[in-house]
Amino acid sequence: MTDQLKQELLAVALEAARRTGALLRDGRPADLGVAATKTSPIDVVTEMDVAAEKLITDFLAERRPDDGVLGEEGANTAGSSGVRWVIDPIDGTVNYLYGLPSWAVSIAAELDGETIVGVVEAPMRAETYHAVAGGGAFRNGERTRVRPTPPFEQALVGTGFGYLTERRAAQAEVLRALLPRVRDIRRGGSAAIDLCDVACGRLDAYYERGLNPWDLAAGELIAREAGALTGGRPGAPADGNLTLAAVPGLFEPLQRRLEELGAWHD
């Protein structure tokens, strides 16, 4: 894999994210409503999710016609180049719907299944995060790093909840056990931003069960390149069962605790 390819994919991802972020920030209708629901009545799609995914897929079709694409709003093409884009046009759709600022465009590029480029564009923070595998993590072009390791009981831990009632009930039980044992919990509403917050030292750790590939692909690479450890259940990669990112020294005890608490099942 050449550095040239990584740099080319990064440039495409940055430009797609910039254009999409501007569309979403400047084009959000004042009366934005729910266009459809997905896995449950609170798992919503707006017209802007659909428009944003179309902008990204049209852009990629023009610049990288032989690549595959997987997108939250239905894009799914195989491609022939070995590169696949994994995109979430709005991560944090409920925040976007309500006019809260924590939402992002998440764009990752995989080569033969391995994430090599990640971009998270957070327009209401005026922040762009990016990473290339092996090249470090950046916020607005400046190198960014995780915080120093805190004692477990002083960790600020981000998390999120799924859209299904049973899953949320199980997630609440895990939280009930964890909350008294750490500094505090944050629920920001965008997994991509949570992972970038670990990367730039605004969280010590983040975990969530039930993420989809588009929620985590870019943010996980950014967190890892900033010095975080990432994974899932012990010995497993970050996936839908469990995604965990934490500063070194906190990762292993938190992973062990989450395993004991059954954070990987409903």
Selection from ligand IPD, Ca ion, none that 210 binds (CB < 5 to 8 A by kind) is ligand IPD
d(CA 87, CA 71) in angstroms, rounded, equals 5
* The residue type at 40: S
Exposed / middle / buried, residue 159 (Cβ in 10 Å: 0-12, 13-18, 19+): buried
- Given the rule CB under 6 A, which of 17-25, 59-67, 205-213, 251-259 is the region that contacts ligand IPD? 205-213
Task: Please identify which residue in 22, 50, 135, 161 interacts with ligand IPD, judged by CB under 6 A.
Answer: 161
Question: Minimum CB separation from ligand IPD for residue 134, in Å?
Answer: 26
- Given the rule CB under 6 A, which of 58-66, 140-148, 155-163, 252-260 is the region that contacts ligand IPD? 155-163
- Given the rule CB under 5 A, which of 21-29, 90-98, 163-171, 243-251 is the region that contacts Ca ion? 90-98
Question: DSSP 3-state assignment of 43?
Answer: coil
d(CA 257, CA 246) in angstroms, rounded, equals 13
DSSP secondary structure code for residue 92 in this structure: S
Question: DSSP 3-state assignment of 168?
Answer: helix
CB of 120 closer than 8 Å to CB of 219 = yes
CA distances from 70 to 108, 121, 204 (A): 10, 18, 30
DSSP secondary structure code for residue 250 in this structure: T
DSSP secondary structure code for residue 78 in this structure: -
**Using the rule CB under 6 A, is 225 a contact of ligand IPD?**
no
Question: Minimum CB separation from ligand IPD for residue 203, in Å?
Answer: 13
Q: Binding mask 83-122 vs ligand IPD (x if CB under 6 A, - otherwise)?
A: -----x--xxxx----------------------------
Give the count of beta carbons closer than 10 Å to the beta carbon of residue 123.
Answer: 21
Q: Report the candidate in 187, 168, 162, 180 with the shortest Cα–Cα distance to residue 240.
A: 162
Residues 10-69 that bind ligand IPD (CB under 6 A): none
The nearer residue to ligand IPD, 6 or 213, going by C-beta atoms, is: 213
Task: Please identify which residue in 16, 131, 132, 191 interacts with ligand IPD, judged by CB under 6 A.
Answer: 191
**Using the rule CB under 5 A, is 215 a contact of Ca ion?**
yes
CA distances from 43 to 46, 78, 97 (A): 10, 26, 12
**Using the rule CB under 6 A, is 211 a contact of ligand IPD?**
yes
**Using the rule CB under 6 A, is 158 a contact of ligand IPD?**
no
**Using the rule CB under 5 A, is 220 a contact of Ca ion?**
no
The nearer residue to Ca ion, 88 or 197, going by C-beta atoms, is: 88
The residue ranges that bind ligand IPD (CB under 6 A) are 72, 88, 91-94, 160-162, 189-191, 208, 210-211, 215
The residue ranges that bind Ca ion (CB under 5 A) are 88, 91, 215
